[in-house]
Amino acid sequence: MSVLKTPTLTSLHPLSVAPMMDRTDRHCRYFLRQISRRTLLYTEMVTSMAILHGDKQKLLGFDRAEHPIALQIGGDNPADLAKCAQIAEDFGYDEVNLNVGCPSSRVQNGNFGACLMLQPERVADCITAMVTATKLPVTIKHRIGVDEVDSYEDLVKFVAIVSQTGCQRFSVHARKAWLQGLSPKENREVPPLRYEDVHRLKQDFPHLSIEINGGFTSLEQVQTQLQVVDAVMIGRAIYDNPYLLATADRDIYGADTPIPSRHQIVTAMLPYIDTWTSKGWKLNSITRHMLQLFHGQPGSRIWKRVITEQSVLPGAGAEVVAKALAEISAVPTIEIVASDAKSAYAD
């Protein structure tokens, strides 16, 4: 197996928001970008077949404000994945990522996702084809193991084979996946977290960029993990409490930028909402991602009630969000910044 070229490793993003199905669409990403300018964002997983045969603009389009942004692809055919990697480059993505971690039955039926961990040589062929086809960094997201193939030695074998391809970064969900008997949700909760395996992986492959994922709910935890690995990926905790990202640019990236307030974030979203609702998009397709912005704050229930009840009405637009903001502004409130987000999330 030969590699024609290896892209230069771009500066590592120490924090990313995990790709989440039915979550990290373009509206969610634009919203999160108002909170953190530097955190790496991922698309939802898009299958190679959808990219090649579907509505590319609808599936892959994004606002340039979303940079840095990575496209995550699901598939197992090297030639198809190579074409998708080139399409990602043409669309202007910053990175292309191969999903080798999703355990859903639909994904298994397509022979991609977590079940590919049982076929490291095939994964290597896929990555090689992608690396050859694009100048973008090619990365991979995977589990620490699958079913009974879950020893540390199995993980090392997988990474050793795939790393020969020019893969840029390994984002490792620190749980194994059960392909039968557990739902995707249970696969995010039931198998125990084994952070030590990911830490050890970094020690054994110091030349690779290793990102850890699974169970993190605060930037303090991120900072602790960054003493051992190169990057940390957070998923549901950010969706459930997006303001957790508010100090990420300062605390993780060292940027000397003001921390946005929740009210500033909402105000920044209003022109974007006007643009998309004027194109015929339903307001709730955008605001559903904003419901938890005031998580843990007095008035949060008011915010969610107004948004939930009125965003589904015919013709609803930015005025609904402005009204919800006005109502919550009348409630005495204390802004909780990300340093307090762990206790807020626990509530």
Q: State the residue for tokens 């997983």.
A: 45
Alpha-carbon distances, residue 330 vs 76, 175, 268, 299, 302 (angstroms): 53, 44, 20, 9, 11
**Token reading at 329:** 């502004």
HEC-encoded secondary structure of the chain:
CCCCCCCCCCCCCCEEECCCCCCCCHHHHHHHHCCCCCCEEECCCEEHHHHHHCCHHHHHCCCHHHCCEEEEEECCCHHHHHHHHHHHHHHCCCEEEEEECCCCHHHHHCCCHHHHHHCHHHHHHHHHHHHHHCCCCEEEEEECCECCECCHHHHHHHHHHHHHHCCCEEEEECCCECCCCCCHHHHCCCCCCCHHHHHHHHHHCCCCEEEEECCCCCHHHHHHHCCCCCEEEECHHHHHCHHHHCCHHHHCCCCCCCCCCHHHHHHHHHHHHHHHHHCCCCCHHHHCCCCCCCCCCCCHHHHHHHHHHHCCCCCCCHHHHHHHHHHHHCCCCCCCCHHHHHHHHHC
How many C-beta neighbours within 10 Å does residue 21 have?
A: 12
Pairwise CA distance, residues 193 & 143, whole Å: 11
Maximum Cα interatomic distance, the chain, rounded to a whole number of Å: 64
Which of the following is catalytic: 84, 102, 126, 167?
102
Q: State the residue for tokens 């964002």.
A: 41
28 counts as catalytic: no
* Catalytic residue numbers, as ranges: 102
